[in-house]
Amino acid sequence: MVTDNYEHSQIEAKWRDRWEREKVFEVETDPERRKYYVLEMFPYPSGDPHMGHVKNYVIGDVVARFFMRQGFQVLHPMGFDSFGLPAENAAIQHGIHPSVWTHEKISRMREVLKHLGISYDWRREVITCEPEYYRFTQWLFLQLYHNDLAYKREGNVNWCPSCATVLANEQVVDGMCERCGSEVTKKTLNQWYFRITQYAESLLEDMNMLGKWPERVLTMQRNWIGKSEGAQIQFFVPVLNRSITVFTTRPDTIFGATFFLLAPEHPLVDEIIAGTSYEKKVRSFRKRISRKSEIERITEGGEVEGMYIGKEAVNPLTGESIPIWIADYIIYEYGTGAVMAVPAHDERDCRFAKRFNLPIREVIKSHDEEKTEECFAGEGIMINSGQYNGLPSSKGKKSIISFLEQRGLGKSSVSYRLRDWLISRQRYWGAPIPIIYCDSCGEIPVPENDLPVLLPQEVDFSPGGPSPLARSESFTHISCPVCGGRAIRETDTMDTFVCSSWYFLRYCSPWTEDKPFHRADVDYWMPVDQYIGGVEHAILHLMYARFFTKVLYDLDFVGFREPFTNLFAQGMVNKDGAKMSKSRGNTVSPREIVESFGVDTVRVFILFAGPPELDMEWSERGVEGAYRFLNRFWRAIMQIVDLEVHDVFTDEKRLMELERDMHRTIAKVDRDIRERFHFNTAISAIMESLNQLNDYFRVLNEKGSSAEERSFLIRYARSLVSLFNPIAPHISEELWERLGGEELLAQHPWPSFDREKMIEDQVELVIQINGKVRSRISVTRGASEDHVLEASLRDEKVCNWLDGKQIAKKIFVPDKLLNIVVK
RNA sequence: GCGAGAGUGGCGGAACAGGCAGACGCGCUGGAUUUAGGAUCCAGUGGCUUCAAGCCGUGCGGGUUCAAAUCCCGCCUCUCGCACCA
């Protein structure tokens, strides 16, 4: 029973049920209709959603509801990214099985989310830890495997001792584990990788075909991929009787190469020092370096370390012999792991040369004569470079590369900072990697028909030792699918980012059983038109998802190369100036706030606090303010619903003003939502209209209202309620019904406006004297300069300012201002 | 260090293409209503100035312009990202 007061809980429950009963948000593939796909990053089910989630979903819901009312079929799904460590830690600490823990959390979270009344098609829910889903995560792994995009190799990897697993490069932040904050160490392990580096160029290139993405996200991805163009050059090493290739972006500085550097772990180092007195020293040097954590490297002020390893390399241009050193700042995985050191023009080489007293030879002169820095890394004119003297660096680069190319000693080359994606995790709660090792057949992919490789239920979660899967006899020991002989399963599971790299495809086709998705579904719905989430995923998730999409495109499973046309990165919700977190104890529970104020209040507060891309501050007063506004809104509309008609005159002038205001408000709200995502100004426009309305009520209270006024006000109220609907869907649906709306507002067409009706006949025009506002006059729209000048000369204030002055100049902006410049 | 972004009342924030700075809201002040509080309604609310008139005012300093929060140059502060990537 809904009373005449604004009873948020009754109203919200009523419409939530109604939308569900009438399947308002359920959509089907239908190529006849225009589609729009709105997606919010799905959550890890940690329990109750927090305010950051709510903000995310509310933004998405406004967009979804807005487009729905534009006549689009809107796909707006929700699911759970439900593999991951917290579930496993719960098992270790409280003895609850990860599956049980996760499903409990999901139910709880789903309940709260449903309570928010967001326009999800819940039938399409995706849960990544269900075999029905991870079966296809494994299937996708196999596609990558068959196309040489998934491979296993030994490598020096990031290890988080606290999580007892390896981490991808992307998951190490300032030398700390992105998840738990412990210091990351290095370990040499045999691990599975995805060959994302093969897609470095298209990940970079295809950024051009994206729609609206935040510039900073693109920049971050660009930096992460880190493309640099240069050359590979061969330096002959007499002791090996062959060449070592270096990568450099500055072939024009080759005459300044005074020593040669190798990464300490470079395998050629061993060949060079074999049987020499350096063997022992190098071994202990390597040991010392590997103990040095990333943190120490950064905090020690960049003290470089290295040592001479006893042999020489030959500069292919000068024929000069230069000593070979190893240095800790040379990264084996980048470029070729070997560098020609040019201390005069590279800061790091310079530091190294100074520390170990190596010669520094200047070969580039700055264009700017004044500049005589010790280490000049810019472009300039070549000197001390034989026949190349006098050439600018850019030309020199090209000539040197072509000289080397002709002699087969080098070529132009591109390097990327991006590394292959390490996907193995030594943990239980993830999708098992579908690989089998047979004593006689070797490494065998699990046949597609045998998928999913199910996680065993009964495993030992006690901490320490190998991962729970490795300890499970029944899981590990199987017979080879090829020869039937003895075999063991891979016991690593996949990084959860693999699961989230394709979930947006599954939403399109969630009921498909024999494959991850139907092509027709995906072709209809994809790409996601608007993706919304936190900027913290700017690199990791967004790049992995882009990578997966590109692989699927190349393998002809999908017909598009980019998954997300537009991306919106929302700001955080803070409290007391800091990020809300359990450890700080400054969290606000959405569940409780919704209980006392209602969903619509929370939505209005969040959206009104500022533009959504900015961080916002949670404020109790702000919530109350939003609540008060909803009450004010309710009362005003109800006053119109209950308006009695009297036999009185109509205030035509006020009515016209209101009419104009109505069209302006529609135009503003429409634009603010559609083009700018600035819901705060959309709400303030609605508030202004409401204030207009209240002013008018005062007139009506005095004189009573005519039938004409009542019918106009109903129309006005309807458009206001209609505009408010994507922002506060429950209250607006209720008021819509009370105003006589027959169909659901959620399915009612979005209001349109008439530009003609927005125009005023009288405009207020600003009169400036010497650029300062001195007066305002009211003139008819489109008044001429002469007319305005004449009118302003009759204005007392203007006359005072002009008294005894000469008019030197006039600037006239029609319907806006007249600036009179006097001497 | 490199790169990107941002600095506007007591606060969150408006000002779409150089043209009325401070919309809208919060807070605060006064008033009405009320037994009282809350809620509600009305009025006010950038600073200086005794009122009026006026002057100053968008981080700081300069510039362009009839006119600058907005454009240009220099500086300061903050936030974020990258940080031995040859």
Please state, in angstroms and rounded to a whole number, the distance separating the CA atoms of residues A809 and A820: 6
Determine the 3-state secondary structure of A91 from DSSP. Answer: helix
pLDDT, position A293: 56
Whole-model pTM? 0.92
C-alpha pair distances (Å), A520 with each of A133, A525, A554, A657? 19, 9, 17, 51
Please state, in angstroms and rounded to a whole number, the distance separating the CA atoms of residues A293 and A161: 13
Give the residue ranges of DSSP H helices in A452-539. 468-471, 473-476, 496-499, 503-506, 519-525
pLDDT tens-place string over residues A195-242: 999 999 999 999 988 888 888 888 888 888 989 889 999 999 999 999
Please state, in angstroms and rounded to a whole number, the distance separating the CA atoms of residues A478 and A441: 13
Q: Which nucleotides of B are covered by protein (CB under 7 A)?
A: 3-5, 12-15, 19-21, 23-27, 39-42, 54-55, 66-68, 80-86
A585 φψ region: left (φ > 0), alpha (ψ -120 to 50), beta (else) = left
Say which DSSP state A182 is in.
P
To 10 degrees, what angle do helices A620-641 and A590-597 make?
Answer: 30
pLDDT tens-place string over residues A458-477: 888 887 778 899 999 999 99
Task: Tell me the CA–C1' distance in angstroms for A25 and B62.
Answer: 59
Tell me, what amino acid is at A159? Answer: W
Do residues A272 and A260 lie in contact, with contact meaning Cβ atoms separated by under 8 Å? Answer: no
Q: Which residue is nearest to nucleotide B85 (CA to C1')?
A: A417
Task: Tell me the CA–C1' distance in angstroms for A654 and B42.
Answer: 21
Task: Tell me the CA–C1' distance in angstroms for A732 and B3.
Answer: 46
Alpha carbons within 13 angstroms on the beta-carbon side of residue A81 total 19
Please state, in angstroms and rounded to a whole number, the distance separating the CA atoms of residues A264 and A439: 35
Q: Which nucleotide is nearest to A215 (CA to C1')?
A: B4
Task: Tell me the CA–C1' distance in angstroms for A716 and B70.
Answer: 35
Question: pLDDT under 70 in chain A at which residues?
Answer: 1-3, 291-302, 368-374
Which residues, including other chains, have CB under 8 Å from residue A797's CB and lie 6 or more apart? A774, A775
Q: Which residue is nearest to nucleotide B39 (CA to C1')?
A: A628
Q: Which nucleotide is nearest to A222 (CA to C1')?
A: B82
Q: Which residues pair with A167 in a beta bridge?
A: A158
Which residues, including other chains, have CB under 8 Å from residue A815's CB and lie 6 or more apart? A763, A765, A781, A782, A783
Quote the Cα angle for A409-A413-A415, to 5°: 135
Q: Name the strand (E) or helix (H) holding A413.
A: strand A410-415
Please state, in angstroms and rounded to a whole number, the distance separating the CA atoms of residues A346 and A182: 33
Say which DSSP state A293 is in.
-
Task: Tell me the CA–C1' distance in angstroms for A625 and B24.
Answer: 12
Task: Tell me the CA–C1' distance in angstroms for A768 and B44.
Answer: 27
Q: Which nucleotide is nearest to A810 (CA to C1')?
A: B66
Q: Which nucleotide is nearest to A628 (CA to C1')?
A: B39
What is the number of other CB atoms lying within 10 angstroms of the CB of residue A706? 18
pLDDT, position A728: 96
Q: Extract the tokens encoding A602.
A: 């929370």
Determine the 3-state secondary structure of A604 from DSSP. Answer: helix
Q: Over chain A, what is the mean pLDDT?
A: 89
Do residues A26 and A498 lie in contact, with contact meaning Cβ atoms separated by under 8 Å? Answer: no
Which of A424, A423, A400 has the alpha carbon at shortest distance from A412? Answer: A400
pLDDT, position A292: 65
Say which DSSP state A447 is in.
P
Please state, in angstroms and rounded to a whole number, the distance separating the CA atoms of residues A390 and A354: 28
Task: Tell me the CA–C1' distance in angstroms for A657 and B41.
Answer: 23
pLDDT, position A101: 94
pLDDT, position A680: 94
Quote the Cα angle for A748-A750-A752, to 5°: 135
Please state, in angstroms and rounded to a whole number, the distance separating the CA atoms of residues A44 and A498: 14
pLDDT, position A1: 42
Quote the Cα angle for A300-A306-A307, to 5°: 150
Which residues, including other chains, have CB under 8 Å from residue A536's CB and lie 6 or more apart? none
C-alpha pair distances (Å), A661 with each of A667, A678, A716, A798? 10, 20, 9, 31
pLDDT, position A301: 53
